[in-house]
Amino acid sequence: MHSLEISRLKIWDSRTGSVIVPDSSFRVEQGKCLAIVGESGSGKSLTCRAIMRLNPASLQQSGHIELNGINLEELSDKEMRQFRGKHLCMIMQNGMRAFDPSRPVGAHLLKTLAVHYPWSRSDAIAKLKAALASVGLKDPDKVLKSYPYQLSGGMLQRTMIALALVLEPDVIIADEPTTALDAITQYEVVEQFIALRSRLGGMMIFVSHDLGIVKRIADDVLVMKDGHIIERGKTSDVLAEAKHPYTRYLVSSKLALSRHFTELMGGEAVVEG
């Protein structure tokens, strides 16, 4: 079975010697979605960027990262650039930062596809248009010709999801993909992630602080605090019967916010199970 295995991952700042993530190990199997949750600064995003080898040069890492039997730590920078996109695809929190602001979105997407597939320009455009339409973008031609600033955050997230559909990667890493979106757009984008997972059947790591979204999309969950994994397990089990005090705090905070929102809307509070 295909899998992504992270063993004894350590991340530290070479300038200060400060260890940010001391020793993390986890596994994602084919067809599964793993959520990583925790407050800002807990090491969630650094862990994901370490898998992609996209952390700044000042941050060093060690450990073993293996995808489908391939040790990613042994790949050269050139080999890793080829590996990213086709095998490992990262969908970032801020869509505006994921695209070159000086070029139309279509130019960025076509350049990415050209690295991984020997398709003609017309074939690549046709595949992109079909994927953009499938994620609910009604005018794919306009999207491809638009500059990033001309598209909303939700549209940029959908565009990145569409690119993943075309690339068909083994692993999709979504780093806080809904944080900058309004509630309605969050819901729509999460639905697109669920559809993406269903269509590709690969592995997904979904980073979020929103336990409602985690409950909807993830099979398993890791809870991180100060660089450490403090709890892990099936999502339903962890959210219903959290063992660590910090996890219980996260769950209770989510419930308190849910109750407060319901009361503001004039309804009765609903306790989530």
Domain boundaries, given as residue ranges, for the chain: 3-264
- Is residue 72 within 8 Å of 18, Cβ to Cβ? no
Percentage of the chain surpassing pLDDT 90? Answer: 66
Dihedral class, residue 119 (left if φ above 0, else alpha if ψ from -120 to 50, else beta): beta
3-state SS, residue 27: strand
Provide the residue type at 36 as one letter: I
Q: How many CB atoms lie within 10 A of CB 251?
A: 18
The amino acid at residue 91 is I
Class of domain 3-264 (CATH, top level): alpha beta
Return the pLDDT at 153: 87
User: Please, are residues 136 and 158 in contact by the beta-carbon 8 Å criterion?
Assistant: yes
The pLDDT confidence band at residue 270, using thresholds 50, 70 and 90, is: very low
Start-to-end Cα distance in the chain:
32
Task: Please determine, for residue 260, whether its predicted confidence score (pLDDT) is greater than 80.
Answer: no
State the pLDDT confidence band at 271, using cuts at 50, 70 and 90: very low
Whole-number Cα distances in Å, 238 to 48, 81, 87, 145:
21, 36, 30, 45
pLDDT of residue 267: 55
Residue 10 β-bridge partners: 62
Q: What is the pLDDT of residues 140-174, one digit of tens each?
A: 999 999 999 999 988 998 999 999 999 999 999 99
Contacts of 26 (CB under 8 A, 6+ apart): 6, 34, 222, 229, 232
Q: DSSP readout, 72-114?
A: GGGS-HHHHHHHHHHTEEEE-S-HHHHS-TTS-HHHHHHHHHH
Nearest 5°: phi and psi at 231? -160, 150
Amino acid at 154: G
Question: What span, in angstroms and rounded, lies between the C-alpha atoms of 176 and 226?
Answer: 18
Instruction: List beta partners, residue 61.
Output: 11
pLDDT tens digits along 31-59: 999 999 998 889 999 999 999 999 999 99
Handedness of CA 196, 113, 174, 81 (dihedral sign): positive
**Whether 89 contacts 166, CB under 8 Å:** no
What is the rounded distance in angstroms from the CA atom of residue 242 to the CA atom of residue 251?
8
Contacts of 252 (CB under 8 A, 6+ apart): none
Judge whether residue 203 has pLDDT over 80.
Answer: yes
Q: What's the CA gap between 102 and 220, in Å, rounded?
A: 39
